[in-house]
Amino acid sequence: MELHAQIVTALRRIIRAVDRHSKELVRRHGLTGPQLVVLRSVAEAPAGARSVGDLAEQVSLAQPTVTGIVDRLEQRGLASRGRDRFDRRRVLVEVTAAGRALIAEAPPLLQERFLERLGRLEDWEQNLILASLQRVVHMMEAADLDAAPHLVSGPIGTEPDADVSAVSATRPRDGTA
């Protein structure tokens, strides 16, 4: 196989791995990757709850996107909202018992496994990968596309049964979705 065909094949394998993992998470647990990221972030909060703004910053997604995700988690009984005891203007998100049970049975996200393996590489290897991927981004004229640090397919924050055919991203905390 020619070198350029091997490169395109490698890119396609990456896309397919992300898509497969996203679809499996939805099929087995009824959650999208970003929904699981948000749910875990709330569960890991030191006070047991987070405001939507804090949550958006923590998971690197736009606040309206996180609001939509929290809406869907709340509809499924996995999270709940309540007023802060000390500042009644603040609305806090908490994980329910059902949400904690789902977190316990959910698999690691693709990016968690990837980051673990990436962290084992030498700094020079990580820099080489970064430089190569940044070059690919420019070659694909994708440098101006918004991107969040989540390896998921489909639009971030959508319903689990939504079309998950393309890799998607959202600009962090800028109010766009």
Domain ranges of the chain: 3-139
Band (175; pLDDT cuts 50, 70, 90): very low
User: Which of 1.10.10.10, 2.60.40.10, 3.10.450.50, 3.20.20.20 is the CATH number of 3-139?
Assistant: 1.10.10.10
Predicted model pTM: 0.72
**pLDDT of 49 higher than 70:** yes
**pLDDT of 6 higher than 80:** yes
Instruction: Please compute the mean of the pLDDT values over residues 139-159 and round it to a whole number.
Output: 68
Band (127; pLDDT cuts 50, 70, 90): very high
The more confident residue out of 55 and 145 is: 55
Q: What is the pLDDT of residue 123?
A: 96
Q: What is the mean pLDDT of the chain?
A: 81
Q: What is the pLDDT of residue 153?
A: 62
Q: What is the pLDDT of residue 154?
A: 55
Band (84; pLDDT cuts 50, 70, 90): confident
What is the rounded (10 degree) CA torsion for 52, 174, 169, 29? 10
8 A C-beta contact, residue 167 and residue 22: no
What is the rounded (10 degree) CA torsion for 33, 35, 38, 41? -60
Q: What is the pLDDT of residue 161?
A: 40
Cα-based angle 82, 29, 20 (whole degrees, multiple of 5): 125
**pLDDT of 23 higher than 80:** yes
Asked which of 80-89, 106-115, 118-127, 150-159 is least confident by mean pLDDT, the reply is 150-159
Percent of the chain's residues with pLDDT above 70: 82
Residue 38: Cβ-neighbour burial (10 angstroms; 0-12, 13-18, 19+):
buried
